[in-house]
């Protein structure tokens, strides 16, 4: 009984680099291959959601360019500075952040405000992390805005999102590339696009040092999870790890066309094997 | 299974790692021979002492000597100096002046090297610059233990063979893979989940919760992989602790050891059944 | 370890009791494979009576899950006991398998 194979695309965390998923979608479209499931984490959730809603890749590229700009984090949260210096005097809590999130909320509202999971043309799963327990939370119902916002709530930068009594933060803390969700939801062939955090070349300040240590842990978590999922899955997991010759920084939205090209190039390499798998 | 190679792995977990003393008591009472010991972070200290055939009483005494808050020399003043910018931080820095800690580790592991141990030993650290796992199995134990438990930011990294090494917990908090690689069959792995913080009232607390989440998730996902990759049996031993322990709660040592012993006893019948079968 | 098989509509229920470890797991694997070979690919493992699972036991369980999934089915878990849940969590199984509080919800998850 050869049931049709279910194809999933899992987009891991990687900020603006996640736009490479649009390159994958372009290659799949040209080959007339349709996705049966989308999973997104952190920056990846922005693209997974728009792909699931059925927007064309050109439109998504445009929408995400205007969404993801430097002024999102440019506005410091003044109260936060006081909280950090005087935690006993100015009330400090788990939702603490260094940046004011009004702007990011407003931008996300413009793009996702009208949409819900139920409208998605392709089943969609977005991952966040329960900040109290460290466990993964899979969001799959209701309005998209709070889900996307929670999935990209980088701790200390943006405030956590309260949801059903939980405090949700960025999904990358639980799993930067949540292939496990696609396995559990019954995917056969899984395309997983992941990004390693870059190591800091010079650890010249406490901030850079802390950032480096976070990258080290995040990359090790990515590798360990992938090693497990690779053994645990009954079918094939195709890993796409785009290599960028040009340095892509957090808010390099002008590089989105280049990022998409790299995603396309990497997917082209995997396409013949994917087609064989789907035909088998 | 008479010819099976048995390995003991002791993971990271700060003061909780003393539970390994309770585990070893049980194994010795039951005459279970250990062929290899692997340790990470706080677990490195006990892995080393077990490998050196140090008695349970002596391990407790050495813990009490080594682990007092004097090893945190100048932490508070250095933290302030880093915050106000009067002290610059770089890759060799830590917030603690490590002179006291180093002195105590030298005394604790005086004369011990990997080459003169009763049982072969491997310890795990992390290369700060690349994030990769570094296996330590040569030379003085003091250097290896110091590197393996160098909690980043708090303690300065430790240099061995030109590599700046920090806490192994960032790459492999419960290094079962080292035992698999060394050809162990039965692997007894004692691991510790870090406690989540209930309330977070300072930036340091939030940062600490972040690190705890990472390390716990790395522990789970590495274990998940090892569990599938190993050809024989792994017995995980995870002692229960109802409340979070402070870094220097050595007054709770008897309780920690008792919990380690209880957790080991619960797993013992399964281990014995396998060895007999 | 004891094992038995029963049908609930089109869903096959594997009832397991005792300890699933290196010594017993191969028997369980053969037993599940036989059910799959007989055409039962939508399975529920009722673990109410399982008090211990070892790493070798878990690998067998996963082997059965992969076998059913490759045939378009699944193996879902019900009634996991607290001690077993702890090991399943640590081993990543609860994140890749579907698991339910009781047998009826596991059967219901296949949607008729």
In this structure, are strands B158-160 and B36-40 parallel, antiparallel, or unpaired?
Answer: unpaired
User: How many Å separate Cα A212 from the centre of its chain?
Assistant: 20
* Chain A contact probe: residue of B81, B94, B167, B206 with most A CBs at under 10 A: B206
User: How many Å separate Cα B178 from the centre of its chain?
Assistant: 14
* Chain B contact probe: residue of A12, A90, A134 with most B CBs at under 10 A: A134
Which of chain B's residues have a Cβ under 8 Å away from the Cβ of C52?
270
DSSP category for residue A11: E
pLDDT at A78: 67
DSSP category for residue A133: T
pLDDT at A1: 44
Which of chain B's residues have a Cβ under 8 Å away from the Cβ of A132?
196, 198
pLDDT at A2: 58
Hey, which residues does C16 pair with through a beta bridge? C3
Q: What is the ipTM of this complex?
A: 0.89
pLDDT at A210: 84
**C-alpha dihedral (A148, A42, A261, A31), degrees to nearest 10:** -70
Q: Across chain B, which distance is largest between two alpha carbons, in Å?
A: 65
Question: A 25-54 residues with CB below 8 A of B?
Answer: none
The residue assigned the tokens 């009832």 is C15
In chain C, DSSP assigns E strands to 2-8, 11-20, 42-53, 74-78, 99-100
Point out the catalytic residue in the list B98, B143, B167, B185. B167
Asked if residue A88 has pLDDT above 60, the reply is no
**Distance, CA of C6 to CA of C12 (rounded, Å):** 6
Task: Using a CB–CB cutoff of 8 Å, tell me whether B276 touches chain C.
Answer: no
* Direct distance between the N- and C-terminal alpha carbons of chain C, in angstroms, rounded to an integer: 30
**pLDDT per position as a tens digit, B171-208:** 999 999 999 999 999 999 999 998 877 777 777 788 88
For residue B191, give both structure tokens: 């691991």
Q: What is the mean pLDDT of residues A215-240?
A: 93
pLDDT at A72: 66
Ramachandran class of B9: left when φ > 0, alpha when ψ lies in -120 to 50, beta otherwise = beta
In chain B, DSSP assigns E strands to 6-10, 36-40, 121-127, 133-136, 158-160, 163-167, 186-190, 234-237
Mean pLDDT score of chain A, rounded to an integer? 89
**pLDDT per position as a tens digit, C90-107:** 899 988 999 999 999 999
| Interchain pair C98, A184: CB under 8 A | yes
Whole-prediction pTM:
0.91
Where is average pLDDT lowest: A81-90, A171-180, B174-183? A81-90
Task: Using a CB–CB cutoff of 8 Å, tell me whether B274 touches chain C.
Answer: yes
**pLDDT per position as a tens digit, A11-60:** 999 989 999 999 999 999 999 999 999 999 999 999 999 999 999 999 99
> Nearest CA to B208 among A81, A77, A160, A134?
A134
Residue A246, burial from CB neighbour count under 10 angstroms (0-12, 13-18, 19+): exposed
- Across the interface, of B90, B198, B214, the residue whose CB is closest to A217 is B214
Label residue A89 by pLDDT band (50, 70, 90): low
Which of chain A's residues have a Cβ under 8 Å away from the Cβ of C69?
186, 188, 234-235
Which of chain C's residues have a Cβ under 8 Å away from the Cβ of A3?
71-72
Nearest residue of C to residue A183, measured between CA atoms: C96
For residue B124, give both structure tokens: 């795990």
Asked if residue C36 has pLDDT above 70, the reply is yes
Describe the crossing of helices B42-51 and B19-29 by its angle, rounded to 10 degrees. Answer: 30
> Nearest CA to B253 among B23, B27, B63, B13?
B63
Nearest residue of C to residue B239, measured between CA atoms: C86
pLDDT at A247: 86
User: How many Å separate Cα C7 from the centre of its chain?
Assistant: 14
**Distance, CA of C68 to CA of B266 (rounded, Å):** 34
Where is average pLDDT lowest: A103-107, B201-205, C34-38? B201-205
> Nearest CA to C79 among C44, C51, C47, C104?
C47
Which of chain B's residues have a Cβ under 8 Å away from the Cβ of A166?
none
Q: Which residues of A are catalytic?
A: 42, 170
Number of other CB atoms surrounding residue A54 within 10 Å: 11
Q: Which of A93-102, A199-208, A248-257, B214-223 is the most confident on average?
A: B214-223
Label residue A145 by pLDDT band (50, 70, 90): very high
Judge contact between C104 and C71, C-beta under 8 A.
no
């Amino acid at each position: 009984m050869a049931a049709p194979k279910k194809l999933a695309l899992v987009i891991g965390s990687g900020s603006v680099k996640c736009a490479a998923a649009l390159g994958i979608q372009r290659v799949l479209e040209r080959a007339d291959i349709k996705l049966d499931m989308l999973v997104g984490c952190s920056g990846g959730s922005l693209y997974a959601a728009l792909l699931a809603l059925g927007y064309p890749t050109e439109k998504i590229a445009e929408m995400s360019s205007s969404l993801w700009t430097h002024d999102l984090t440019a506005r410091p949260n003044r109260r936060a500075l006081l909280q950090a210096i005087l935690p006993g005097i100015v009330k400090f809590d788990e939702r603490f952040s260094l940046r004011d999130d009004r702007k990011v909320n407003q931008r996300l509202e413009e793009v996702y405000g009208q949409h819900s999971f139920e409208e998605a043309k392709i089943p969609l799963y977005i991952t966040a992390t329960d900040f109290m327990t460290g466990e993964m939370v899979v969001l799959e119902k209701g309005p998209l805005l709070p889900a996307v916002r929670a999935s990209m709530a980088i701790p200390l930068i943006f405030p956590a999102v309260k949801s059903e009594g939980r405090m949700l933060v960025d999904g990358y803390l639980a799993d930067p590339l949540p292939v496990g969700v696609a396995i559990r939801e019954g995917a056969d062939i899984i395309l997983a696009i992941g990004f390693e955090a870059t190591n800091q070349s010079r650890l010249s300040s406490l901030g850079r040092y802390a950032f480096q240590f976070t990258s080290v842990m995040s990359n090790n978590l990515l590798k360990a999870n992938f090693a497990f999922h690779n053994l645990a899955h009954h079918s094939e997991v195709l890993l796409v790890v785009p290599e960028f010759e040009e340095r892509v920084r957090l808010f390099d939205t002008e590089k989105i066309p280049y990022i998409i090209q790299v995603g396309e190039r990497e997917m082209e390499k995997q396409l013949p094997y994917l087609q064989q798998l789907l035909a088998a | 299974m008479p010819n099976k190679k048995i390995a003991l792995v002791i993971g990271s977990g700060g003061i909780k790692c003393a539970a390994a003393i309770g585990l070893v008591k049980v194994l010795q009472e039951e005459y279970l021979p250990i062929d290899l010991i692997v340790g990470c972070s706080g677990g490195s200290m006990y892995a080393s002492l077990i490998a050196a055939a140090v008695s349970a009483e002596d391990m407790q005494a050495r813990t009490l000597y080594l682990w007092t808050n004097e090893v945190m020399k100048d932490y508070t003043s250095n933290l302030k100096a880093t915050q106000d910018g009067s002290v610059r931080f770089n890759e060799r820095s830590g917030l603690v002046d490590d002179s006291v800690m180093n002195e105590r580790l030298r005394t604790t592991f005086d004369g011990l090297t990997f080459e003169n141990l009763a049982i072969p030993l491997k310890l795990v650290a992390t290369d700060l610059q690349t994030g990769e796992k570094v296996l330590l199995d040569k030379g003085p134990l003091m250097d290896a233990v110091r590197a393996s438990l160098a909690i980043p930011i708090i303690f300065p990294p430790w240099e061995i063979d030109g590599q700046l090494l920090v806490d192994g917990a960032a790459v492999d908090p419960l290094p079962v893979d080292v035992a698999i690689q060394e050809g162990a069959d039965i692997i007894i792995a004692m691991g510790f989940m870090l406690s989540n913080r209930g309330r977070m009232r300072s930036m340091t607390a939030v940062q600490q919760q972040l690190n705890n989440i990472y390390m716990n998730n790395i522990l789970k996902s590495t274990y998940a992989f090892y569990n599938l990759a190993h050809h024989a049996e792994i017995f995980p031993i995870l002692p229960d602790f109802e409340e979070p322990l402070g870094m220097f709660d050595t007054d709770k040592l008897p309780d920690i050891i008792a919990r380690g012993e209880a957790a080991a006893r619960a797993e013992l019948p399964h281990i014995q059944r396998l060895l007999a079968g | 370890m004891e094992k038995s098989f029963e049908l609930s509509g089109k869903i096959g229920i594997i009832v397991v009791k005792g300890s699933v470890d290196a010594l017993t797991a191969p028997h369980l694997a053969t037993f599940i494979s036989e059910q799959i070979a007989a055409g039962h690919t939508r399975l529920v493992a009722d673990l109410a009576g399982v008090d211990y699972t070892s790493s070798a036991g878990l690998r067998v369980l996963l082997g059965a899950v992969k076998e059913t999934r490759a045939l378009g089915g699944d193996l879902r878990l019900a009634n996991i006991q607290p001690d077993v849940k702890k090991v399943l969590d640590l081993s990543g199984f609860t994140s890749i398998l579907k698991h339910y509080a009781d047998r009826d919800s596991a059967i219901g998850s296949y949607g008729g």
